[in-house]
Chain A
Amino acid sequence: MSTTAAESSFMFDGYVRPDGRVGIRNHLALVSTVALANRVAELAAARFDAERGPGSDPVLRVSGEFQRGLQTPDAMLQDQIIEQLITHPNIGAAVVLCHDRRAAQSWTRRLSQFGRPIEVLAVMESKGVGHAIDRTVQALKAQALMLGDALRTPCPLSSLSIALECGGSDASSAVCANPAIGRFVDRAVGAGATVIVSETAEFIGGEDVVRAQSIDPDIAHAIIDRIAQVESRMSGDGDHYRGVNPTAENIEAGLTTLTEKTMGAVCKIGTSRFAGCLAFGERPDRPGLHFMDTPFFSPCSITGMLAAGAQLTLFAMGVFNPSGNPLAPTLKICGNPDTLAHWADGIDVGLAELIDGRIGLDQAGDRIAEAVRAVACGATTHTERWGEGQFIIPRMLPSF
């Protein structure tokens, strides 16, 4: 390939935020900071959406099992991730619903530094459940007026931060969807974009690739250390990953070695080199390819990569997998002809021609680039249409 950085780059229309980051969506978000506030948030969002009527984008609800009584490392991580989600560039304005007044005061202080349109409310400052819902709807109406100030303007590919993910993996995803994503990743990294790959357990057996594809030995060492920790925790739980993989089923499907199995997923980084090793949700401090240490459950790993600022996710599939996240579009990419025939209403980029031999991986990568540009400009993905996805923050310690 002899394409230059300029040729392989592209422009899209995004929302430039006060901190310089770029949103590809302009969501009005309703964030509950603790699960106690989730039901009031749900009812307020439903009423607000019904009053706005069809044709308007629904309120983005950010609500999880956010809880109290966590030990300090978990409490800090939870608050950090909630803050990063509220201030995500895909959000144009937000209402933050806390349970009590003290939490609301604390969140008001914490969020004031960002200069974003955010209103913080406490359920307990209301006079009854109905009143709490009324106040939340009023706050949503006020914040909705702030959204109109944001306009899409031309932005370079380098302003994108892209999360990589896979699920429903099979023989097709290992040689079609994942390597096609790898071709696009090389192009995106070459153009100065940020790319994050996660799911530490998937890298067991890929240590040599990490060594060969890191910008310096310290980064390779940091990543390999994270992989070793996960392997050790699995082994402590009775799961000797390296000893039993590839499994008899994998071998029957054509996988010969653990490295081959691992590469089926890891090849989505292309030939790019790691520029950083991140903790769950940690923001990269430079562009390029980054590894993030996350659990392998994709709704959880996607939450971590979006908290770190990713505006969209590229998701390789073999068989269908409904993972996604409502905050950032998830592009489902698939080359399995059976899945393409039966799950077309959940696939954004079909690569059947790759299996037929009618296109090569480079053209498949170009097709992904076209889809990324369209989605970054506002085209709706299937996960957005179905409203799929959830926010899951991992927990390390027992709660009180």
Chain B
Amino acid sequence: MPRIALTVHPADNVVTLLDFDETDMHTHDGLLLRGRIPFGHKAASRPIAHGDPIIKYGVAIGVATRTIAAGEHVHVHNCR
């Protein structure tokens, strides 16, 4: 089953995973996930450069502390 990933706002560069099946690496709208991402966590929906804002809800919720590839888990290890 492709995973459910919700984009809250059109300007967002992350999606939120809303299902519990961490084995499938594809989301229902075609994003290839890089690794297992738990329910409620975020994945980059496009490449994000080091220092660029992480956008969710259409606002900057943090800054990328290194370059993040599309499909990569976005959390405290690469966003502050």
Task: Show the binding face of A for B, using Cβ within 8 Å.
Answer: 171-172, 175-176, 179, 208-209, 212, 251, 253-257, 259-260, 263, 266-267, 271, 354-357, 361
A-B contact pairs, 12 of them (CB 8 A): A172-B18, A175-B6, A176-B18, A209-B59, A253-B40, A254-B40, A255-B40, A257-B62, A259-B60, A355-B19, A357-B4, A357-B28
Closest to B28 in A: A357
- Interface residues on chain B, number (Cβ under 8 Å): 26
- Contacting residues, chain A, for B28 (C-beta < 8 A): 357
Consensus secondary structure, chain A interface: helix
A271 touches B58 (CB 8 A): yes
Complex formed: what's the CA distance from A208 to B74 in Å? 22
Q: What is the interface of chain B mostly: helix, strand, loop, or mixed?
A: loop
User: CB within 8 Å of A: which residues of B?
Assistant: 4, 6, 8-9, 16, 18-19, 28, 38-42, 54, 56-62, 74-76, 79-80
Is there an interface contact between B8 and A361, defined as CB atoms closer than 8 Å? Answer: yes
In the complex the two chains form, what is the Cα distance from A271 to B60 in whole Å? 14
Q: Which of B19, B41, B42, B62 contacts A259 (CB 8 A)?
A: B62
Cα–Cα distance between A226 and B38 once the two chains are bound (Å): 36
* A176-B6, A179-B8 known; A260 vs B40 contact (CB < 8 Å): no
In the bound complex, CA of A254 to CA of B61 (Å): 13
Residue from A208, A254, A259, A271 whose CB has the most chain B CB atoms within 10 Å: A254
What's the least CB distance linking A355 to chain B, in Å?
5
Q: Are B8 and A267 in contact (CB under 8 A)?
A: yes
Residues in chain B near residue A355, CB distance under 8 A:
4, 18-19
